[in-house]
A and B are shown apart, each in its own frame.
Chain A
Amino acid sequence: MAPATSPRSSSYADDAAGLGRGRAAAFVAPALVLVAVFLVFPALWTLYLGTTDYRLTGVAASRPQFVGTDNYTTVLGDGEFHRSLWLTAQFVLGSAIVGQTVLGFALAWTLRDRTGPLRRLVEGLVLLAWILPGSVIAFLWIALLDRDAGTLNALLGTPGTAWLLDHPMACVVVFNVWRGTAFSMMLYGAALGNVPPSHLETARLAGASTWQTLRDAVLPRIRGHVLTSLLLVSLWTFNDFTPFLITAGGPDHRSEILSVYVYRTALGDGRLGFGAAVSLIMILVNLVIALLYLRALRGRSA
C-alpha cells in the first residue's frame, strides 16, 4: 500500500503513526502485561477464591476445596455483613454525598469571586487535607480525638471524652468529610467558572434568592459536573480503607465498613475464600452505583 512517489516508504506502514501492527503491538505490550498481571489476574483469582474454602493457614491453605456458592450464601446471611453494609451506606451518604459534596460546593460557591489571601488560605488548608498521606492524617486525627491528651478535648474543655470509643462512626464520617472536601471544592470551583456571569446577573436582576439562583441558573449548567463528582466520590468512599487506621473497625465492629470487614475476615480471621466472596459483592455494588450515575448522566443529553 506504499505510495508510489515515496520509495523509502516500504519500511513504513500507512497508519497515522507509520508503525504497522507488529511494532504498535510491541509498544503496547508492556502496559498490557502490567494490567494483566496486576489487575486482570487478581480479579480472576478473587473470583476463583470466592468459590473455595481457601484459608490463610491450616489444611485448607494447602488443599483448598471447591465449595460452590457456600461463601456467598454465608455472607448474605451473615449479620455482621448486614451491619457492615449499613455502616458503609451511612459512611457514603454522610461523608461523600452530604458532607463532601455539599460542603465542597458551598466552599466553591462562597469563594467563587473572592480573590486574595482568604481564598488562598482556605484553598491551601483544604488541599492540604487532600494531599497528605493517609497514615499521617490518621495519626493527626488520633491525636486530635485522644481521650487523655486530645486536642479536641482541650479545645472543648471536655477532658476524658473518648470520641473514638463513644462515637466511632461519627468520627470516621467527619474525618472523611474533612479529608475529601478538597476534590469536590476544586471540581465545583471549575464548574462554576462555566456558568456565564450574565446568567447569575439575570437572576439577580429578577430578584432571585440564592436558592432560586442555584436552582435556575447554576445547577442546570453544572449537572454533569455534579453527577461526575458524585460518582467518583461515592466510589472512592465506598472502597476507602483509611478509617481502619483510626478506629480499626472498632470498638466492637461499630465502625467496620465493608473494606474493613473484608480485611478482617480475609486477613484477620484468615478466611481468604470468604473475603474474596465479599470483595466480589463489593465490586457488584460499585457497578450498580456507577450504572445509576451513568444512566442519570445519559438522561441529561436525551
Chain B
Amino acid sequence: MAGIALRGLTKDYPGGVRAVDGLDLDIADGAFFALLGPSGCGKTTLLRTVAGLETASAGTVRIGDADVTRVPPGRRDVGMVFQDYALFPHMTVADNIAYPLRIKKVGRDERHAAAGEVAAELGLGTLLARRPGELSGGQQQRVALARAMAARPKVFLLDEPLSNLDARLRLEARTFLKRLQRELGVTTVFVTHDQAEALAMADRMAVMRDGRVEQVGTPAEVFRRPANLFVASFIGSTPMNLLPARATAEGIEAGGAVLPHPAPGVTDGELVYGVRPEYLDGSTEPVEGAFEGRVAVVENLGSTSLVTIDTGRSDRAGELVHVVVGEGEEPEPGTSLWARPRPGRALLFRDGELVGGRLEKT
C-alpha cells in the first residue's frame, strides 16, 4: 500500500515534444484516481512514467516512501493493465496470470495456486485452462487485471481500461472495477479521455491539458466548480454554456439577458458566464432573469431533451444556449423559450479562471 507523489515531473521526447511539463501531483494511498484529458494531453505518458516504461527527463516519482525515478519498472512494484490487455496468446489463462510470479522465480505449484486464488476473486475460476483467444473482451480484461494483481503490487495502473469494450459491457466493467478497487484498497490510477468514465469511477481526478494539470479534485468538485474554462468545457456530457458577459449595476449581462451576478464585486477583466444545461429551467412563459430565445434544435436524450435556443433578435446577433428539459416538456422548434439559471448554479470566469459562483462547499 502506497501513495504516489510526483514533483516537477517532465518528460521530453526526442524532437522537442514535451509530453509532461513540470507536473506536481499527489495521489493518496488507496485512492481510485483518474487522469483525464483530451488525446495528446500527456496523460498516458504520465502513467507510463509512473510505471517506469518512460524515463522522466526531470523531476521525481515517489511510490510510498521510495524515490523510484531511476528504478527500472520491474522493481517498482506496480501492476499495469494495458489498453489492449497484452495477454500472451500462447499461454493459458493460468500461465498468463502467473506470469509475473514466474519471472520472480516463484515455484510452479505456488504460482499456480496464487493465480487460482486471484482468478477466483475475479470470477475467472472456470477459465484457467483456456487461452486468451477463446475469451470475450470482458473476460480478457479481467485476466489482464488478475495478472496485474497476481504479484500483489503497491500500485495499479490502468491505461484506458474500458476503451476496448463495447458500450454495454463498459458499464458493467465500470461497476466491477469500482467495486474491486474498493475491496482491494490498492492505490489505482487510470487514464481515460472519457469524462463520464472519470466522473463515475474515480475518488479523485486530475484534468490534464498540454502536459499540465488543470485541476485536481473529487469528481463532484471538478463537475461543480471547474477551475477554468478548459475544464468547464471538457467536463459534462452536455457541454456547459459559456457566454461572454459584462457586469452591470443590475447584475450580469450575458446572452442578451440580465442575470443575477454569481460573484458580486467582480466587474473587471474578460468575463465569461457559465451554466450547465441541466441547471437551466425552461419555461414557455416570460420569466425575469432568464435567457430568452427561439428554439432552434431539440435533441432527444432519452429521459430528457437537449434544447438549443438562439438568443439573437432582429437588432443583434445572439449566442446559442443549451437547455435540458424534462420528458414531455419539449418545446416546438421555432417557439420562444425562457431559460432561467437555478440560483447558486451559475459560475463566473475572469480571464479564463473561475472567480465565483457555487459558494457552498461540496
Contact = CB atoms under 8 A, between A and B. Distances in A.
Interface of A: 196, 198-199, 201-208, 212, 216-217, 220
Given A196-B86, A199-B88, A220-B90, A205 B99 contact: no
Contact of B74 (A198, A199, A208): A208
Nearest to A202: B86
Given A212-B103, A220-B90, A202 B82 contact: yes
Contacts of B103: 203, 206-208, 212
A199 B53 contact: no
Nearest to B96: A202
Contacts of B323: none
A205 B80 contact: yes
Contact of B88 (A204, A207, A216): A216
B100 A198 contact: no
A201 B82 contact: yes
A207 B52 CA distance: 11
Interface string B44-72: 00000001110000000000000000001
B110 interface: no
Interface of A is mostly: helix
Interface in B61-108: 72-75, 78-80, 82-86, 88-91, 99-100, 103-104
B74 A205 contact: yes
Interface of B: 51-53, 72-75, 78-80, 82-86, 88-91, 99-100, 103-104, 147, 151
17 contacts: A196-B84, A199-B86, A199-B88, A201-B86, A202-B86, A202-B99, A202-B147, A203-B103, A205-B51, A205-B74, A205-B100, A206-B151, A207-B73, A207-B100, A207-B103, A216-B99, A220-B88
A204 B86 contact: no
Contacts of B52: 204-205
Given A199-B88, A220-B90, A204 B53 contact: yes
Nearest to B86: A198
Contacts of A217: 88
A204 B83 contact: no
A206 B90 contact: no
A198 B75 CA distance: 18
Contacts of B78: 205
Given A196-B84, A199-B86, A207-B100, 19 more contacts: A196-B86, A198-B82, A199-B88, A201-B73, A201-B86, A202-B82, A202-B86, A202-B99, A202-B147, A204-B73, A205-B51, A205-B53, A205-B74, A205-B78, A207-B75, A207-B103, A208-B103, A216-B88, A216-B91
A204 B88 CA distance: 14
A205 B73 CA distance: 5
Contact of B83 (A198, A199, A205, A212): A198
B142 to A, nearest CB: 16
B74 A207 contact: yes
A13 to B, nearest CB: 43
A206 B74 contact: yes
A257 to B, nearest CB: 37
A201 B147 CA distance: 13
A92 to B, nearest CB: 29
A204 B72 CA distance: 8
Contacts of A207: 72-75, 100, 103-104
Most B-side CB within 10 Å, residue of A198, A204, A206, A217: A206
Contacts of B90: 220
B74 A204 contact: yes
Nearest to B83: A198
Contacts of B104: 206-207
Contacts of B82: 198, 201-202
Contacts of A198: 82-86
Contacts of A203: 103
Contacts of A216: 88, 91, 99
Contacts of A206: 74, 99-100, 103-104, 151
Nearest to A199: B86
A210 to B, nearest CB: 12
Nearest to B151: A206
Contacts of A205: 51-53, 73-74, 78-80, 100
A196 B91 CA distance: 16
A225 to B, nearest CB: 15
Nearest to A300: B90
A31 to B, nearest CB: 41
Most buried by B among A196, A207, A212, A217: A207
Contacts of B151: 206
Nearest to B153: A205
A199 B53 CA distance: 12
A187 B252 CA distance: 69
A254 B91 CA distance: 48
Nearest to B76: A205
A214 to B, nearest CB: 13
B88 A201 contact: no
Nearest to B157: A205
Which has the most chain B C-beta neighbours within 10 Å: A202, A203, A205, A216? Answer: A205
Nearest to A217: B88
Nearest to A223: B90
Contacts of A220: 88-90
Most buried by A among B52, B74, B83, B151: B74
Nearest to B79: A205
A203 B83 CA distance: 15
B149 to A, nearest CB: 13
Contacts of A212: 103
A236 B163 CA distance: 47
Nearest to B99: A206
A238 B324 CA distance: 77
